[in-house]
Structure 1
Amino acid sequence: MAAGAECWGEEDAPVAVLAVHGRTQSPADMRALAERLDVEGLRWLAPAAAGQSWYPYGFMEERPDDDPWLAWSLEAVDEHVGHLAEAGWPPERVVLLGFSQGACLLAHWALLHPRRYAGLVLLTGGYVGTEREEVSFAGDLDGTPALLAGCESDPWVPRNRMAQTEDLLRGMGAHLTSIVEPGAEHEVSATASELTGRLLRHTVSAAGRR
Protein backbone atom coordinates (compact mmCIF):
# COMPACT_ATOMS: atom_id res chain seq x y z
CA MET A 1 0.00 0.00 0.00
CA ALA A 2 1.56 3.29 -1.09
CA ALA A 3 1.78 6.50 0.90
CA GLY A 4 3.00 9.05 -1.62
CA ALA A 5 6.14 9.12 -3.73
CA GLU A 6 9.30 11.10 -4.37
CA CYS A 7 10.61 12.19 -7.78
CA TRP A 8 14.03 13.40 -8.82
CA GLY A 9 16.34 13.46 -11.81
CA GLU A 10 15.97 14.97 -15.26
CA GLU A 11 12.44 16.04 -16.16
CA ASP A 12 13.13 15.43 -19.87
CA ALA A 13 15.05 12.17 -19.36
CA PRO A 14 14.59 9.52 -22.06
CA VAL A 15 14.09 6.80 -19.43
CA ALA A 16 12.25 6.70 -16.10
CA VAL A 17 12.98 4.36 -13.21
CA LEU A 18 10.24 3.16 -10.88
CA ALA A 19 12.33 2.42 -7.79
CA VAL A 20 10.60 0.38 -5.06
CA HIS A 21 12.18 0.14 -1.61
CA GLY A 22 12.34 -2.82 0.75
CA ARG A 23 10.68 -3.42 4.11
CA THR A 24 11.65 -0.90 6.83
CA GLN A 25 13.02 1.37 4.10
CA SER A 26 11.78 4.51 2.36
CA PRO A 27 12.32 6.41 -0.90
CA ALA A 28 15.44 7.89 0.72
CA ASP A 29 17.08 4.47 0.42
CA MET A 30 16.33 4.36 -3.30
CA ARG A 31 17.67 7.88 -3.70
CA ALA A 32 20.89 6.75 -2.00
CA LEU A 33 21.10 3.81 -4.41
CA ALA A 34 20.53 6.15 -7.36
CA GLU A 35 23.35 8.39 -6.17
CA ARG A 36 25.60 5.35 -5.82
CA LEU A 37 24.78 4.21 -9.37
CA ASP A 38 25.37 7.72 -10.77
CA VAL A 39 23.68 7.24 -14.15
CA GLU A 40 22.68 10.29 -16.20
CA GLY A 41 19.57 10.54 -18.35
CA LEU A 42 17.07 9.18 -15.84
CA ARG A 43 13.92 10.37 -14.11
CA TRP A 44 13.35 8.55 -10.82
CA LEU A 45 10.01 7.84 -9.16
CA ALA A 46 10.15 6.15 -5.75
CA PRO A 47 6.84 5.31 -4.05
CA ALA A 48 6.65 5.05 -0.27
CA ALA A 49 4.97 2.09 1.41
CA ALA A 50 2.59 2.83 4.26
CA GLY A 51 4.35 1.85 7.46
CA GLN A 52 7.50 1.12 5.43
CA SER A 53 6.11 -2.26 4.32
CA TRP A 54 4.34 -3.36 1.14
CA TYR A 55 2.79 -6.35 2.92
CA PRO A 56 3.09 -7.56 6.54
CA TYR A 57 4.36 -11.11 6.00
CA GLY A 58 7.24 -12.95 4.39
CA PHE A 59 6.89 -13.20 0.63
CA MET A 60 6.80 -17.02 0.78
CA GLU A 61 4.46 -17.28 3.78
CA GLU A 62 0.77 -18.21 3.70
CA ARG A 63 -1.44 -15.18 3.14
CA PRO A 64 -4.88 -14.75 4.75
CA ASP A 65 -7.77 -15.40 2.38
CA ASP A 66 -9.00 -11.84 2.89
CA ASP A 67 -5.52 -10.30 2.72
CA PRO A 68 -5.71 -6.86 1.05
CA TRP A 69 -2.04 -5.89 1.31
CA LEU A 70 -0.55 -7.52 -1.77
CA ALA A 71 -3.49 -6.44 -3.95
CA TRP A 72 -3.20 -2.85 -2.72
CA SER A 73 0.53 -2.78 -3.34
CA LEU A 74 0.19 -4.28 -6.82
CA GLU A 75 -2.44 -1.63 -7.57
CA ALA A 76 0.01 1.03 -6.38
CA VAL A 77 2.52 -0.19 -8.97
CA ASP A 78 -0.26 -0.06 -11.59
CA GLU A 79 -0.99 3.54 -10.67
CA HIS A 80 2.63 4.67 -10.75
CA VAL A 81 3.30 3.00 -14.10
CA GLY A 82 0.17 4.75 -15.37
CA HIS A 83 1.32 8.11 -14.01
CA LEU A 84 4.67 7.71 -15.74
CA ALA A 85 2.92 6.94 -19.03
CA GLU A 86 0.76 10.05 -18.66
CA ALA A 87 3.91 12.09 -18.00
CA GLY A 88 5.58 10.85 -21.20
CA TRP A 89 7.29 7.61 -20.17
CA PRO A 90 5.39 4.62 -21.59
CA PRO A 91 6.32 1.16 -20.23
CA GLU A 92 8.94 0.57 -22.92
CA ARG A 93 10.80 3.59 -21.51
CA VAL A 94 10.43 2.57 -17.85
CA VAL A 95 12.84 0.47 -15.80
CA LEU A 96 11.25 -1.39 -12.89
CA LEU A 97 13.85 -1.55 -10.11
CA GLY A 98 13.32 -2.97 -6.64
CA PHE A 99 15.28 -4.10 -3.61
CA SER A 100 14.22 -6.88 -1.23
CA GLN A 101 10.46 -6.62 -0.60
CA GLY A 102 10.33 -4.07 -3.41
CA ALA A 103 12.03 -6.55 -5.75
CA CYS A 104 9.49 -9.23 -4.76
CA LEU A 105 6.60 -6.86 -5.45
CA LEU A 106 7.97 -5.85 -8.85
CA ALA A 107 8.83 -9.43 -9.83
CA HIS A 108 5.24 -10.45 -9.11
CA TRP A 109 3.79 -7.40 -10.86
CA ALA A 110 5.94 -7.80 -13.99
CA LEU A 111 5.00 -11.48 -14.27
CA LEU A 112 1.32 -10.50 -14.01
CA HIS A 113 1.76 -7.70 -16.59
CA PRO A 114 4.25 -9.07 -19.14
CA ARG A 115 5.24 -6.80 -22.02
CA ARG A 116 8.35 -4.98 -23.17
CA TYR A 117 9.81 -2.69 -20.50
CA ALA A 118 12.99 -0.65 -20.72
CA GLY A 119 14.37 -2.89 -18.00
CA LEU A 120 13.64 -5.00 -14.93
CA VAL A 121 16.09 -4.99 -12.01
CA LEU A 122 15.37 -7.34 -9.10
CA LEU A 123 17.92 -6.96 -6.31
CA THR A 124 17.49 -9.84 -3.84
CA GLY A 125 13.90 -10.84 -4.56
CA GLY A 126 11.51 -13.24 -6.27
CA TYR A 127 7.81 -13.58 -7.01
CA VAL A 128 5.35 -13.76 -4.10
CA GLY A 129 3.84 -17.11 -3.09
CA THR A 130 4.36 -20.24 -1.00
CA GLU A 131 6.25 -23.29 -2.23
CA ARG A 132 2.95 -25.18 -2.52
CA GLU A 133 1.14 -22.40 -4.34
CA GLU A 134 0.55 -23.06 -8.03
CA VAL A 135 1.54 -20.17 -10.27
CA SER A 136 -0.05 -19.41 -13.61
CA PHE A 137 1.94 -16.52 -15.01
CA ALA A 138 1.74 -16.33 -18.80
CA GLY A 139 2.64 -13.85 -21.51
CA ASP A 140 5.65 -12.32 -23.23
CA LEU A 141 8.21 -9.96 -21.73
CA ASP A 142 9.38 -9.43 -25.30
CA GLY A 143 13.13 -9.30 -24.71
CA THR A 144 13.00 -6.95 -21.71
CA PRO A 145 16.57 -6.53 -20.38
CA ALA A 146 16.48 -7.95 -16.86
CA LEU A 147 18.83 -8.43 -13.92
CA LEU A 148 18.21 -10.79 -11.01
CA ALA A 149 20.86 -10.52 -8.30
CA GLY A 150 21.28 -12.04 -4.85
CA CYS A 151 23.49 -14.26 -2.74
CA GLU A 152 23.62 -17.98 -2.09
CA SER A 153 22.56 -17.96 1.57
CA ASP A 154 20.39 -14.84 1.86
CA PRO A 155 18.33 -15.28 5.05
CA TRP A 156 15.26 -13.60 3.51
CA VAL A 157 15.31 -14.73 -0.13
CA PRO A 158 15.90 -18.48 -0.63
CA ARG A 159 18.06 -19.49 -3.54
CA ASN A 160 15.36 -21.80 -4.88
CA ARG A 161 12.85 -18.95 -5.21
CA MET A 162 15.41 -16.92 -7.11
CA ALA A 163 15.89 -19.91 -9.43
CA GLN A 164 12.12 -20.29 -9.90
CA THR A 165 11.82 -16.59 -10.70
CA GLU A 166 14.73 -16.85 -13.11
CA ASP A 167 13.05 -19.74 -14.94
CA LEU A 168 9.79 -17.82 -15.22
CA LEU A 169 11.45 -14.67 -16.53
CA ARG A 170 13.45 -16.55 -19.13
CA GLY A 171 10.45 -18.66 -20.10
CA MET A 172 8.42 -15.48 -20.66
CA GLY A 173 11.02 -13.93 -22.92
CA ALA A 174 13.14 -11.67 -20.72
CA HIS A 175 16.76 -11.15 -21.74
CA LEU A 176 18.00 -12.05 -18.27
CA THR A 177 21.32 -11.71 -16.51
CA SER A 178 21.31 -13.64 -13.22
CA ILE A 179 24.01 -13.46 -10.59
CA VAL A 180 24.17 -15.38 -7.32
CA GLU A 181 27.15 -14.46 -5.15
CA PRO A 182 28.53 -16.41 -2.20
CA GLY A 183 27.62 -15.29 1.31
CA ALA A 184 24.51 -14.30 3.23
CA GLU A 185 24.49 -10.51 2.94
CA HIS A 186 21.05 -9.04 2.28
CA GLU A 187 22.24 -5.99 0.39
CA VAL A 188 23.02 -4.55 -3.02
CA SER A 189 26.56 -5.77 -3.61
CA ALA A 190 29.24 -3.94 -5.55
CA THR A 191 28.83 -6.41 -8.41
CA ALA A 192 25.04 -5.99 -8.44
CA SER A 193 25.50 -2.21 -8.44
CA GLU A 194 27.89 -2.40 -11.37
CA LEU A 195 25.52 -4.60 -13.38
CA THR A 196 22.56 -2.36 -12.53
CA GLY A 197 24.45 0.72 -13.66
CA ARG A 198 25.41 -1.03 -16.88
CA LEU A 199 21.78 -1.97 -17.61
CA LEU A 200 20.57 1.56 -16.90
CA ARG A 201 23.21 3.14 -19.12
CA HIS A 202 22.30 0.73 -21.90
CA THR A 203 18.62 1.68 -21.67
CA VAL A 204 19.44 5.39 -21.80
CA SER A 205 21.68 4.84 -24.82
CA ALA A 206 19.03 2.73 -26.55
CA ALA A 207 16.47 5.47 -25.94
CA GLY A 208 18.66 8.00 -27.73
CA ARG A 209 20.78 9.67 -25.03
CA ARG A 210 24.51 9.43 -25.77
Structure 2
Amino acid sequence: MSEIKRKGLPLDQAKKVIVMIHGRGGTAESILSLVPHLNLTDYAILAPQANGNTWYPFGFMASDEGNFVALESSLRKIEEIVEEVTGAGIAPENIYLLGFSQGACLSLEFAARHAKRLGGVVAFTGGLIGEKLKPENYSGDFEGTSIFIGSSDRDFHVPAKRINESAELLRKMGAEVTVKLFDDPDHTIRAEEIKWVNQKIFI
Protein backbone atom coordinates (compact mmCIF):
# COMPACT_ATOMS: atom_id res chain seq x y z
CA MET A 1 0.00 0.00 0.00
CA SER A 2 1.38 3.38 -0.96
CA GLU A 3 1.69 6.20 1.51
CA ILE A 4 -1.68 7.80 2.29
CA LYS A 5 -2.16 11.11 4.07
CA ARG A 6 -5.29 11.21 6.19
CA LYS A 7 -7.36 14.16 7.37
CA GLY A 8 -10.87 14.76 8.62
CA LEU A 9 -12.69 12.09 10.58
CA PRO A 10 -11.29 8.60 11.17
CA LEU A 11 -12.86 6.00 8.88
CA ASP A 12 -14.75 4.37 11.75
CA GLN A 13 -16.46 7.68 12.58
CA ALA A 14 -17.15 9.01 9.08
CA LYS A 15 -20.30 8.56 7.03
CA LYS A 16 -18.64 9.91 3.87
CA VAL A 17 -15.15 9.51 2.45
CA ILE A 18 -13.27 11.47 -0.19
CA VAL A 19 -10.17 10.23 -2.02
CA MET A 20 -8.13 13.23 -3.23
CA ILE A 21 -5.59 12.57 -6.00
CA HIS A 22 -2.76 15.00 -6.72
CA GLY A 23 -1.43 16.01 -10.13
CA ARG A 24 1.91 15.31 -11.80
CA GLY A 25 4.71 16.81 -9.73
CA GLY A 26 2.29 17.42 -6.87
CA THR A 27 1.99 15.69 -3.52
CA ALA A 28 -0.68 14.37 -1.21
CA GLU A 29 -0.07 17.48 0.90
CA SER A 30 -0.60 19.79 -2.09
CA ILE A 31 -4.02 18.36 -2.97
CA LEU A 32 -4.99 18.46 0.72
CA SER A 33 -4.47 22.24 0.63
CA LEU A 34 -7.91 22.33 -1.03
CA VAL A 35 -9.62 20.90 2.05
CA PRO A 36 -10.30 24.24 3.82
CA HIS A 37 -12.11 25.45 0.68
CA LEU A 38 -14.44 22.45 0.35
CA ASN A 39 -17.50 21.38 2.38
CA LEU A 40 -15.83 18.29 3.84
CA THR A 41 -16.58 18.75 7.55
CA ASP A 42 -18.00 15.26 8.12
CA TYR A 43 -15.71 13.36 5.76
CA ALA A 44 -12.77 11.05 6.17
CA ILE A 45 -10.21 12.44 3.73
CA LEU A 46 -7.61 10.15 2.13
CA ALA A 47 -4.87 11.41 -0.18
CA PRO A 48 -2.48 8.83 -1.68
CA GLN A 49 1.07 9.83 -2.63
CA ALA A 50 2.34 8.76 -6.07
CA ASN A 51 5.81 7.27 -6.37
CA GLY A 52 8.09 9.99 -7.71
CA ASN A 53 5.10 12.40 -7.58
CA THR A 54 3.66 11.04 -10.83
CA TRP A 55 0.92 8.47 -11.46
CA TYR A 56 2.10 7.57 -14.97
CA PRO A 57 5.11 8.79 -16.95
CA PHE A 58 3.71 10.28 -20.15
CA GLY A 59 0.79 12.52 -21.11
CA PHE A 60 -2.69 11.06 -20.60
CA MET A 61 -3.19 10.80 -24.38
CA ALA A 62 0.27 9.33 -25.08
CA SER A 63 0.79 5.76 -26.24
CA ASP A 64 -1.14 3.25 -24.16
CA GLU A 65 1.92 0.99 -23.98
CA GLY A 66 4.15 3.70 -22.51
CA ASN A 67 1.81 4.41 -19.61
CA PHE A 68 0.44 0.90 -19.14
CA VAL A 69 2.50 -0.49 -16.25
CA ALA A 70 2.49 2.67 -14.13
CA LEU A 71 -1.16 3.40 -14.86
CA GLU A 72 -2.28 -0.10 -13.87
CA SER A 73 -0.25 0.18 -10.65
CA SER A 74 -1.79 3.58 -9.86
CA LEU A 75 -5.32 2.34 -10.55
CA ARG A 76 -4.61 -0.57 -8.18
CA LYS A 77 -3.58 1.89 -5.46
CA ILE A 78 -6.90 3.68 -5.76
CA GLU A 79 -8.71 0.35 -5.75
CA GLU A 80 -6.93 -0.67 -2.53
CA ILE A 81 -8.06 2.55 -0.87
CA VAL A 82 -11.65 2.03 -1.98
CA GLU A 83 -11.50 -1.55 -0.67
CA GLU A 84 -10.24 -0.28 2.69
CA VAL A 85 -13.11 2.23 2.81
CA THR A 86 -15.83 -0.27 1.87
CA GLY A 87 -14.27 -2.73 4.29
CA ALA A 88 -14.87 -0.13 7.01
CA GLY A 89 -18.59 -0.33 6.20
CA ILE A 90 -18.92 2.77 4.01
CA ALA A 91 -21.16 2.24 0.98
CA PRO A 92 -19.93 3.25 -2.50
CA GLU A 93 -22.63 5.95 -2.74
CA ASN A 94 -20.85 7.72 0.14
CA ILE A 95 -17.43 7.60 -1.55
CA TYR A 96 -16.20 10.63 -3.52
CA LEU A 97 -13.22 10.96 -5.86
CA LEU A 98 -11.47 14.26 -6.55
CA GLY A 99 -8.36 15.01 -8.56
CA PHE A 100 -6.45 17.77 -10.27
CA SER A 101 -4.83 17.40 -13.70
CA GLN A 102 -3.14 13.97 -13.80
CA GLY A 103 -5.09 13.13 -10.64
CA ALA A 104 -8.33 14.24 -12.33
CA CYS A 105 -7.60 11.91 -15.25
CA LEU A 106 -6.89 9.06 -12.83
CA SER A 107 -10.11 9.77 -10.89
CA LEU A 108 -12.23 9.62 -14.05
CA GLU A 109 -10.42 6.55 -15.37
CA PHE A 110 -10.83 4.64 -12.12
CA ALA A 111 -14.48 5.58 -11.80
CA ALA A 112 -15.29 4.57 -15.39
CA ARG A 113 -13.54 1.20 -15.06
CA HIS A 114 -15.62 0.43 -11.96
CA ALA A 115 -18.80 2.39 -12.68
CA LYS A 116 -21.35 2.29 -9.89
CA ARG A 117 -23.38 4.74 -7.85
CA LEU A 118 -20.79 6.95 -6.10
CA GLY A 119 -21.17 10.07 -4.00
CA GLY A 120 -19.58 12.08 -6.80
CA VAL A 121 -16.48 12.58 -8.92
CA VAL A 122 -14.73 15.95 -9.23
CA ALA A 123 -12.16 16.32 -12.03
CA PHE A 124 -10.37 19.65 -12.01
CA THR A 125 -8.87 19.58 -15.54
CA GLY A 126 -8.99 15.98 -16.72
CA GLY A 127 -10.36 13.44 -19.15
CA LEU A 128 -10.39 9.69 -19.64
CA ILE A 129 -6.94 8.24 -20.30
CA GLY A 130 -5.69 6.73 -23.54
CA GLU A 131 -4.36 7.39 -27.02
CA LYS A 132 -7.96 6.97 -28.14
CA LEU A 133 -11.06 6.47 -26.02
CA LYS A 134 -11.90 2.78 -25.89
CA PRO A 135 -15.43 2.19 -24.56
CA GLU A 136 -14.59 -1.50 -24.13
CA ASN A 137 -12.22 -0.53 -21.27
CA TYR A 138 -15.16 0.63 -19.18
CA SER A 139 -18.05 -1.18 -17.55
CA GLY A 140 -20.82 -0.73 -15.04
CA ASP A 141 -23.55 1.84 -14.47
CA PHE A 142 -23.09 5.14 -12.63
CA GLU A 143 -26.81 5.20 -11.73
CA GLY A 144 -26.95 8.99 -11.80
CA THR A 145 -23.63 9.74 -10.06
CA SER A 146 -22.72 13.43 -10.35
CA ILE A 147 -19.45 14.02 -12.21
CA PHE A 148 -17.95 17.49 -12.56
CA ILE A 149 -15.19 18.34 -15.06
CA GLY A 150 -13.85 21.90 -15.05
CA SER A 151 -10.98 23.24 -17.16
CA SER A 152 -9.69 25.97 -19.41
CA ASP A 153 -11.28 25.83 -22.86
CA ARG A 154 -7.72 25.72 -24.24
CA ASP A 155 -5.70 23.91 -21.60
CA PHE A 156 -2.21 23.03 -22.82
CA HIS A 157 -2.28 19.52 -21.33
CA VAL A 158 -5.95 18.52 -21.58
CA PRO A 159 -7.76 19.33 -24.84
CA ALA A 160 -11.39 20.43 -24.57
CA LYS A 161 -12.24 17.88 -27.28
CA ARG A 162 -11.10 15.00 -25.05
CA ILE A 163 -12.99 16.45 -22.07
CA ASN A 164 -16.21 16.59 -24.09
CA GLU A 165 -15.68 13.09 -25.52
CA SER A 166 -15.05 11.76 -22.01
CA ALA A 167 -18.18 13.45 -20.71
CA GLU A 168 -20.26 11.90 -23.48
CA LEU A 169 -18.95 8.41 -22.73
CA LEU A 170 -19.59 8.87 -18.99
CA ARG A 171 -23.15 10.03 -19.71
CA LYS A 172 -23.74 6.88 -21.75
CA MET A 173 -22.70 4.95 -18.62
CA GLY A 174 -25.41 6.65 -16.57
CA ALA A 175 -23.53 9.57 -15.02
CA GLU A 176 -24.92 13.09 -14.60
CA VAL A 177 -21.98 15.00 -16.05
CA THR A 178 -21.41 18.75 -15.80
CA VAL A 179 -18.59 20.25 -17.90
CA LYS A 180 -17.49 23.84 -17.31
CA LEU A 181 -14.86 25.19 -19.72
CA PHE A 182 -13.50 28.62 -18.83
CA ASP A 183 -12.35 31.33 -21.22
CA ASP A 184 -8.79 31.54 -19.90
CA PRO A 185 -5.54 29.66 -20.56
CA ASP A 186 -4.85 28.76 -16.92
CA HIS A 187 -3.98 25.25 -15.72
CA THR A 188 -5.51 25.76 -12.28
CA ILE A 189 -8.53 25.29 -10.04
CA ARG A 190 -10.86 28.29 -10.15
CA ALA A 191 -13.00 29.77 -7.38
CA GLU A 192 -16.06 29.24 -9.60
CA GLU A 193 -15.32 25.51 -9.76
CA ILE A 194 -14.93 25.26 -5.99
CA LYS A 195 -18.21 27.12 -5.52
CA TRP A 196 -20.05 24.83 -7.95
CA VAL A 197 -18.89 21.55 -6.37
CA ASN A 198 -19.64 22.86 -2.87
CA GLN A 199 -23.20 23.72 -3.91
CA LYS A 200 -23.90 20.64 -6.03
CA ILE A 201 -21.72 17.73 -4.86
CA PHE A 202 -20.42 18.31 -1.32
CA ILE A 203 -23.81 19.04 0.20
Tell me the TM-score normalised to structure 1 length: 0.89
Aligned with 1:155: secondary structure? coil
What CA distance in whole angstroms lies between the structure 2 residues aligned with 1:69 and 1:91?
Answer: 25
Deviations 1:84-114 (A, max 9, x none): 1112322111001111101101111111101
Which region of structure 1 is more displaced relative to structure 2, 47-56 or 177-186? Answer: 177-186
Alignment of 1:21-32 (within 5 A): 21-32=22-33
Distance in 1, Cα, partners of 2:60 & 2:78 = 17
Unaligned runs of 5+ in 1: 203-210
Instruction: Find out whether 1:135 has 2:142 as its counterpart.
Output: no
Deviation at 1:198, TM superposition (A): 2.0
Asked if the contact 1:119/1:199 (under 8 Å) is kept, the reply is no
Asked if the contact 2:105/2:128 (under 8 Å) is kept, the reply is yes
Q: Which residue of 1 aligns with 2:187?
A: 186
Deviations 1:49-72 (A, max 9, x none): 000000000000113379411110
Instruction: Give 1:72's aligned amino acid.
Output: S
Aligned residues: 200
1:167 aligns with 2:161: no
Query: Hey, what does 2:79 align to over in structure 1?
Result: 78
Aligned equivalents of 2:2, 2:83: Cα separation in 1: 16
AA in 1 matched with 2:135: V
- Aligned counterparts of 2:39 and 2:134: Cα–Cα separation in 1: 40
Distance 1:162 1:84, change over 3 A: same
CA distance in 2 between partners of 1:201 and 1:97 (Å): 11
Q: What one-letter code is carried by the residue in structure 2 that aligns with 1:184?
A: P
The alignment partner of 1:140 has SS state of: coil
Q: How does 1:92-131 map to 2 (within 5 A)?
A: 92-131=93-132
Please tell me the residue identity of whatever aligns with 1:48: Q
Structure 2 unaligned regions, length at least 5: none
Change (3 A) 1:69 1:143: same
SS state of the match for residue 143, structure 2? coil
1:54/1:101 contact within 8 Å kept: yes
**In the alignment, is the contact (CA less than 8 A) between 1:149 and 1:179 conserved in 2?**
yes
- Report if aligned partners of 1:39, 1:200 keep a CA contact under 8 Å in 2: no
- 1:3 matches 2:5: no
1:43 Cα shift? 1.1
Whether contact under 8 Å (1:6, 1:46) holds in the other structure is yes
- Give 1:36 shift: 2.1
Q: TM-score, normalised by structure 2?
A: 0.92
Q: SS of the residue aligned with 2:131?
A: coil
Q: State the identity as a percent.
A: 31
